[in-house]
Amino acid sequence: MSATLMSKTTTTNTTTKRRRGTPATRSEARGAYLFILPALILMVMFLVIPVLMSFTLGFTNARLGAATSPEFVGFTNFLRALRDDPTFWDALRNIMVFVLVVVPLQGGLALVLALLINQKLRGITAFRVLFFMPVVTSMVVVAMLWKFMYQREGLINSLFGFDVDWLNDPSTALPSVIVMSVWQGVGFHMIIWLAGLQTIGQELYEAASIDGANRWQQFREVTLPGLRPTFVFIFITITISAFSLFTQIDVMTSGGPSNATTTLVYHIIQMGSGRGDVGYASALSLIFFMIVLTVTLIQRALTKDED
């Protein structure tokens, strides 16, 4: 009995010492906090504070350079977006079209490229680098190059014999931006798909082959289930990236023609920075946040692994 009690007391003392930590452990903890302190300060300054300010300013009539202090206006800004701002609805329609087209197109094309370059062939690394190069190129540079290509006298019309002003026609402006965005971003998700493919054991394909499965059956029964976690990650990241479309619009079309390419992020920045209507821009940001959050949660629920 006493031996058991002594053993429990020793264990308790040891646990207490571990919780309190030795001087060396405390010193390491202080060092760790010092290392993360700069990143923490930056996150608070450029993430936490702006988010809190958006939640606050969205319910006020704050304006840049206003002589008076912001006043609380309740849900006036939100009602203005829903009832009195046709540009908001144009931007919402455009971004939903962009998301619905880009997410499956870019994800599917990236998977096809990943399957093609997941081969043990000479020079395959060069193809991987070639497909990935647009990703590491600045989006501003890519958008400017494609803007020149889309001009009436540009490369695309010259190559195919068209006579279309791609970015100044409401019927072709948004599809043109979609094509450029897919081309620029497909390489990144190709690499993610490739990483997922390389985690699937070759013995699974060998077993399926022994069972008489053809290439399509192997892809359906082995490859796709093995890529499920990768699929969820890519599906959500492409969606969030598509919703935040801004640079291409700002460089190539400036939201035109006739709001045919205006997006929510572009509209928010125009209202906040361009017109100085900070309160309304903050309200739009909150609406945008709720839309993205809702879509992401729905995606997560649909792709949730029941296992």
Residue indicated by tokens 């939903």: 96
Query: What pTM does this model have?
Result: 0.83
What pLDDT, in 10s, does the model give residues 105-155? 999 999 999 998 888 777 778 887 888 888 888 999 999 999 999 999 999
What pLDDT, in 10s, does the model give residues 56-81? 999 999 998 777 888 999 999 999 99
C-alpha dihedral sign at 20, 21, 26, 32: negative
Report CA-CA distances (Å) from 8 to 1, 2, 12, 20, 160.
Answer: 11, 10, 6, 18, 83
Three-point CA angle 67, 73, 79, nearest 5°: 125
The percentage of the chain sitting over the pLDDT mark of 70, rounded to a whole number, equals 92
| Cβ contact 199:226 at 8 Å | yes
Minimum mean pLDDT range among 100-104, 177-181, 218-222, 246-250? 218-222
Secondary structure letter of residue 70 according to DSSP: P
